[in-house]
A and B are shown apart, each in its own frame.
Chain A
Amino acid sequence: MLKNLEFPAKREVLPKMLATITAEITKYTGDDKWINRLKICSEEILVNIIDYSGSSNVFISCEFVNDALRFEFVDEGKPYNPLAEKPDVDIDAGIEERGIGGLGIFLYTTIMDKMEYKFEDGKNHLIAIKNLSGKLVD
């Protein structure tokens, strides 16, 4: 379990954050596809925080509850709900029409079973849940 692990919100720290998260994920699944997918989700969320939140630090939690991995990413930046913006990604569009934005949020909202955002105690909290047993999360 990772509980509120603090990292500087900097791109050069991203590999260390991802290595820490990946080590945690592999405790609960040995499926390369899911390890990779969950790592990508974590990266996309963290990159948004690093690039746009203005927060100096990011706090990462990850725990396994009821067959599901529950991630929580907390930052002290300006209030921002990434889930409020529907990603404008059309995966059936031609290559010339493919925009370069929105791919990250598209990936994590597609991969995760459930996501929640709240602004609490002056902090952004983004919660992402993925059930690894194949059951859908309520």
Chain B
Amino acid sequence: MANYVMEIGEVSKIKLHGHIDASIAPNLMNELKPLIERKGEIKKLVFYANELEYIASAGIRAVVFAKQKLGANVQVYLVGASAAILDVFKMTGIDKFLTIQDSFEG
């Protein structure tokens, strides 16, 4: 059963949670692969980060990977991230490619 990917469709939803360090990030990456194979169906990709406590570069790379593979027409959201999590995305400049919101409706 998927641990992160909640829904694949026009609006695909991923729930990031806990600690995504280098020992965990490969699991996230593996879950993203089947989602990317269905990229024709996807218009929006939402990463929910309300329960994400920690993310390092290995986890950031998984988000970059998804954004790159889905292409420019798919809008990628980062929703509900704490200040400490947003700090990492900003330091790496990845925040510029994401739509950052407190919540996501729809």
Contact = CB atoms under 8 A, between A and B. Distances in A.
Contacts of A39: 54, 56
Contacts, number: 69
A14 to B, nearest CB: 5
B93 A43 contact: no
Contacts of B56: 39-40, 43-44, 47, 104, 107
Chain B binding site: helix, strand, loop or mixed by DSSP? helix
A100 interface: yes
Contact of B92 (A14, A15, A107): A107
A135 to B, nearest CB: 21
Given A15-B19, A100-B64, A33 B57 contact: no
Interface string A1-30: 000000000011011001000000000000
Contacts of A103: 57, 60-61, 92
A118 interface: no
B88 interface: yes
Interface of B: 19, 21-23, 54, 56-58, 60-61, 64-65, 67-68, 82-85, 87-88, 91-94, 97
12 contacts: A14-B21, A18-B19, A32-B82, A33-B83, A37-B88, A39-B54, A47-B22, A47-B56, A95-B67, A95-B97, A107-B88, A107-B92
Given A40-B88, A44-B56, 6 more contacts: A11-B23, A14-B21, A18-B19, A89-B92, A91-B93, A104-B57
